[in-house]
Amino acid sequence: GFAQAGVTLLSIGVQSFESDKLIKLGRIHDSNQAQRAATLAKSAGIKSFNLDLMHGLPNQSIEGALDDLRTAIALEPAHLSWYQLTIEPNTAFYSKPPKLPVDDTLWAIQEQGLALLKQAGYEQYEISAYSKSGYQSQHNLNYWTFGDYIGIGCGAHGKITDVQTDKIFRTIKVKHPKGYLDTDRPHLDQLREVTQEELPFEFMMNQLRLRQPFTLSHFSQHTGLAKHNIADTLEQARAKQLMDNIDEAWQVTSLGHRYLNDLLEMFL
């Protein structure tokens, strides 16, 4: 996964260093165990370990979220995944939503957290991914640049391009372990072709997460669509100051990252 070759890779799902927050998230580890796991990784000589950390947790204050981040930074991971809690359908939180921080608090956490990470030497290369120099996650970059990948395990998602037809397919393996282990049932649960009408949004939904620019040629190469399919929408986004460009290279602005959902809707 990470950029430097020849090193052991490890990702630790910390989520939070506040034990009460972990209980609310339904996690079975506590704060001490989370810190111990990272400390053990360091003492074992694993240089490229990642910490997964959430913010915007139930009843979380700005200072609480930043303290979580300070604790993570002090453990010196080469890579940090720092992302906001979202409530997904078919979860306990979805049926009984907890009280989450208001938007102004979430934005303050994001802005102040970015400053902390930058000061500590972490580069933001994607919405929720930060790394020390040379430790960007290569498999993450492949997802966001609309590359192909095979989903193998239980519930795994994949994206495959048929090189003979140039058609793009999304795949999902059987989600429940019992069904996945049933030898009388196919492992593949879903196989769906991404239509030409969907491709601009599919491409942008991934690419616009990145801080690096993309070119219209890159869009055509990975979707098989002509550049004019998104040219007008890009110009509209630039007029709204959500995107900017230098020649063929287009990039999301700071305003665009703040209102990314609005920007993405333009490509639907």
Q: Is 247 exposed, middle or buried, given 0-12, 13-18 or 19+ CB atoms closer than 10 A?
A: exposed
DSSP structure string for 38-104 = HHHHHHTT--EEEEEEEES-TT--HHHHHHHHHHHHHT--SEEEEEE----TTSHHHHS---PPPHH
| pLDDT of amino acid 93 | 64
The contacts of residue 65 (CB under 8 Å, 6+ apart) are 55, 56, 57, 109, 113
The residue behind tokens 């704060």 is 31
DSSP assignments along 122-139, one per residue? PEEEETTEEESTT--BHH
Which residues make Cβ contacts (< 8 Å) with residue 82, sequence separation at least 6?
A: 53, 54, 55, 69, 72, 113, 117, 128, 130
pLDDT of residue 92: 63
- pLDDT mean by block of 10 residues, the chain; 268 residues: 52 84 72 84 86 91 94 94 83 69 91 96 94 90 93 94 94 94 92 96 95 94 94 97 94 92 95
pLDDT of residue 84: 93
pLDDT of residue 240: 97
Q: Return all residues near 158 (Cβ < 8 A) that are at least 6 apart.
A: 149, 150, 151, 152, 170, 171, 172, 173
Residues 38, 48: contact at Cβ < 8 Å? no
Tell me what pLDDT residue 90 has: 67
Which of 202, 102, 99, 194 shows the shortest CA–CA distance to 146?
A: 202
Instruction: Identify the pLDDT of residue 95.
Output: 63
Report pLDDT for 4. Answer: 47
CA distance 151 to 157: 5
The pLDDT value given to residue 38: 86
Tens of pLDDT, residue by residue over 118-142, are: 999 999 999 999 999 999 988 889 9
pTM: 0.83
Angle at CA of residue 20, ends 14 and 22, nearest 5°: 30
pLDDT of residue 99: 79
pLDDT at 48: 86
Report how far residue 133's alpha carbon sits from residue 122's, in angstroms, rounded to the nearest whole number: 7
pLDDT, position 6: 39
Distance (Å) of CA 85 to CA 16, 45, 82, 106: 11, 31, 10, 10
